[in-house]
Amino acid sequence: MATQSPDLVLDIAAISGHLLEAQEIAPRARTIAHALATLLPATAVNVYLISDTAEGESWTVRATVGEAAPDEAVPIDSGALGLLAAAAKPQLLAGKTLVREQYAHLNVRKTPLSLAYLPLVVNDTLIGTIEILSFDQPLTEANLHALDCVAEVASAALHAAQAYEHERHSSLTSITRLTQFYDIEKVFSSTLEMDQLLSIIGSKICETLECQAVNLWMVQGDGSVLLMHQAGWDPTTRQGMTQKGGEGIAGDVSDNGETVLITDPGDERLARRNLNMQEEEGRVKSILVAPLLDKESLVGVVEAVNRIDGTPFDDDDQFVLGSLNESASLALHNASLLMAERKVEILEMLVKVSTEITSTLNLERVLRAIVDTPGGVIPYERAAIALEQRGKLQLKAVSGMTQINPGDPVAESLKEILQWAAVSKDEIYIRQRGEDVDNVREETRLKFQHYFAETGMRGFYALPLADDEGTVGILAFESADPDFLTRAHIEMIKVLAGQATVALRNATLYKEVPFISLLEPILHKKQKFLAMEKRRRALLLALTAGIVLFLAVFPLPMRVDGNATVAPAHSAQVQPEIEGVVRQVYVHEGQHVQRGQILADLEDWEYRTALEGARAKLETASSEMNRALATNDGTEAGIQRAQAAYWASEVERGQERLERTHLRAVFDGWVTTPQVEDFAGRRLAPGDVFAQIVDSSQTIVDVAIDERDATLLRPGSKAVVKLDSFPQRTLTGTVAVVSPKNGVDGDLRVFYARVGLPNPDGSIRPGMQGRSKVWVGWHPAGYVLFRRPAMWIYSKLWSWFGW
């Protein structure tokens, strides 16, 4: 066969001139691709550059000439491109060394004769490659050597284009950021309400940095930081949580006041933060944390979590966040001045109310002071208080009403809604904006839509009055403005509720002094204990302390158990690659087969006929070519040589098709398909299952562990298995993996621990069942003995009280 001449005519000056006409990457890449495609006829040329994506480095095509269009992004280690990435030197694949898997990333219809790569290297760093596919004539090493100068010019040109586009992008980004800073400062100054300002700051920083979430932590009186607002989605934190130094990144920044930029997903600080994250989605992979400083005094911390494009934060993002924090600090300072002024008013009102309700034990005076006096600070339209008496809730006072008349529709409606609110035992704040009531429960929304329609109110806030002895009653405020309460107002109401609870309890006890007898049984037990002999009392205390110490300190091995089911470690289905009728089956169910062993043959007369025909055509073309060469007929010899090459490829295709009529075992194992012999004479389509092979030399036991114990499991833990089929054998293995997906085992929700067991003799078979125990380490005796009862008690208490 003829080969392309190594004496390629290269006009490097012309190519370089064309490259200098454009500064961007795309036109330069097209110039390079067109120049090589023109130089090498009947070829397809692709120009790639290495780029960073969310999945890592990949080959990105920047220009394509010919019928071999690649995918938009190709993994760095894919096929022949992976060989180039491992060794940045020219690659030439041709003949039998060229297989389809090496250029699987290309959408090519014809089979290439050769595939070549010219690496693009700048300063010993691989930045891309030129991919050449030849379809009519194979490329040679001489061809590649002649194209080295083109690769050198292309490397320099594309590298310079990358630098130019990066510089241009940086300039545009800087201009955009300056515009954003100006707009953001105006937005930050648009309000003095702290809640609204925190929301604006979080959303604007999140939008500017294009990140997944922004957390705003504010410094508290004890030196800790409280998560006041969260913009975006960050499942590793929750609004209302606090941190101190050493407890998290925000706590550390609040201690030292230094900005933290973490770009490594494997950083120990991020690992601690992601500790409770079971799913990959939502994990913190990059974080930028900066302090909020007001005149060199720390007022808070801002966290930016995970850029949306998947790349880590950089120094530019750090500079932007620092600039935004300066504007945010000024806005927060102004809002805090307004907040402080309001708090002074609230404190004065609290002092006034406290003085009134603690200066008397008259229940009526206390009730009137609670519902009427706060109106000077809290913009409510109606306040009401109901007390629990003899197991029933009685409406006792309503602002603006000197007397509550039985049967009054307004009073009855208010009493009904207070009785409903008192059931939850928690504070309730329900608002209606337009036609929408902000509550997740449909029943609650319908109830308050009806209530608000009757009363004309749009905001309802209720807080239970309770102390250590139980519930005293409930306090409620209403307004036609759904947002009539700010954070400061709610804090005042909670303080007021605490003072009111004490005052109401004292006033109630003043009327019902006999209730003090409830403490008598406790006092009696205490007196009986103190009356014991000193030695006996000391012995009882020592025994109790010893038991507590044993339960708290003494370690015991802890195991969790569950039902075990044997599954094969490796199984595969034998499927034909071509359609055909099964001519003969050579195996039977339960037979052990070796890798590559023929299990069955399909009818192959059609393929044998085609193969022999191609061979005959090949011999004819070869003979005609030799005859033409002998007669010095170069034209006819070239034609016959092309025919011979075509029929040689057809012979190779025919052999491949004939080989596919043999159904072979893909690994050593046992045939598990019943009556596999009956497949003889049956027609199979590609993808139909002929037989299943199972490798039982290594088995996997799925152990169903109760979801309450699943958190104790760790890969690598030791496990023992007792199968029903071998009651006298104890099998040992290790936990290979803990399934992240749960299942159902009877009435229990379970997670599966996959335990690997050796099975050299094949006696352990898939489907066998039994029990397994997994060792989860040494734990204090109290934890081992009382963990489940304690969890059951806690769950009951939580369901009753909703902690």
User: Under a CB-based contact definition with an 8 Å cutoff, are residues 731 and 720 in contact?
Assistant: yes
Joined together, the tokens standing for residue 452 give 């608000």
Percent of the chain topping pLDDT 90: 3
Query: What does the mean pLDDT of the chain come to?
Result: 81
- What pLDDT digit, counting tens, does each position of 108-140 carry? 888 888 889 999 999 888 989 999 998 888 888
The per-residue pLDDT for 517 is 46
User: b/e per residue, 663-689, with b = 16+ CB within 10 A?
Assistant: bebeeebbbbbeebeebeeeebeeeee
What b-and-e string marks burial along 541-568, b requiring 16 or more CB atoms within 10 Å of the CB?
eeeeeeeeeebeeeeeebbbbbbbbbeb
**Cα-flanking dihedrals φ and ψ of residue 799, to 5°?**
-70, -30
Average pLDDT on 769-774 reads: 85
Q: Which two tokens stand for residue 728?
A: 């006298």
- Residue 726's identity, in one-letter code, is F
- Residue 255 makes CB contacts below 8 A (sequence gap 6+) with 245
How many Cα atoms sit within 13 Å of 715 on the Cβ side? 5
| Digit-coded pLDDT (tens) for 27-60 | 988 998 898 888 888 889 999 998 887 677 888 8
pLDDT in tens, 727-767: 888 888 888 788 777 777 777 788 888 887 777 777 777 77
Distances (CA, A) of 236 to 272, 278, 285, 306: 10, 11, 11, 12
Q: What is the pLDDT, as a whole number, of residue 129?
A: 92
Tens digits of per-residue pLDDT, 196-251? Answer: 778 888 888 888 888 999 999 888 878 888 888 888 888 888 888 888 888 888 88
Average pLDDT over residues 347-372: 77
Against a cut of 0.75, is the pTM above it? no
Query: What is the distance between the alpha carbons of residues 379 and 257, in angstroms, rounded to a whole number?
Result: 39
The residues pairing with 669 across neighbouring beta strands, listed in sequence order, are 593
Q: Are 428 and 441 in contact (CB under 8 A)?
A: no
**Highest-confidence segment of 67-71, 400-404, 462-466:** 462-466
Cβ atoms of 751 and 729 closer than 8 Å: no
d(CA 320, CA 63) in angstroms, rounded, equals: 35
CA 801 remoteness from chain centre: 32
State the Cα–Cα distance between residues 45 and 190, nearest whole angstrom: 57
User: Which strands make up the sheet holding 392-398, listed edge to edge?
Assistant: 392-398, 382-389, 470-479, 459-467, 428-433, 436-437
What is the distance between the alpha carbons of residues 392 and 576, in angstroms, rounded to a whole number? 78
Q: What DSSP state is assigned to residue 577?
A: S
Residue with tokens 């938009």: 72
pLDDT for 613-650, tens place per residue?
A: 878 887 887 888 888 787 887 787 788 788 878 888 88
Model pLDDT, residue 12: 82
* Residue-by-residue DSSP string for 403-436: S--TT-HHHHHHHHHHHHHHTS-S-EEEEEETTE
Whole-number pLDDT of residue 5: 44
DSSP 401: B
Q: How far apart are CA 735 and CA 717, in angstroms?
A: 5
Q: What tens digit of pLDDT does each residue of 659-702 get?
A: 777 888 777 777 778 887 877 878 888 878 878 777 766 778 88
Please name the residues in contact with 246: beta carbons below 8 A apart, sequence gap of 6 or more: 252
- Measured CA to CA in angstroms, residue 435 lies from 428, 453, 456, 458 at distances of 19, 10, 13, 10
DSSP letter for each residue of 584-652:
EE---TT-EE-TT-EEEEE--HHHHHHHHHHHHHHHHHHHHHHHHHHTT-HHHHHHHHHHHHHHHHHHH
Please report which confidence band the pLDDT of residue 514 belongs to, taking 50, 70 and 90 as the band edges: very low
Of 101, 92, 91, nearest in space to 139 by CA:
92
pLDDT digits (tens, 9 = 90+) for 320-348: 888 888 878 887 777 777 666 667 777 77
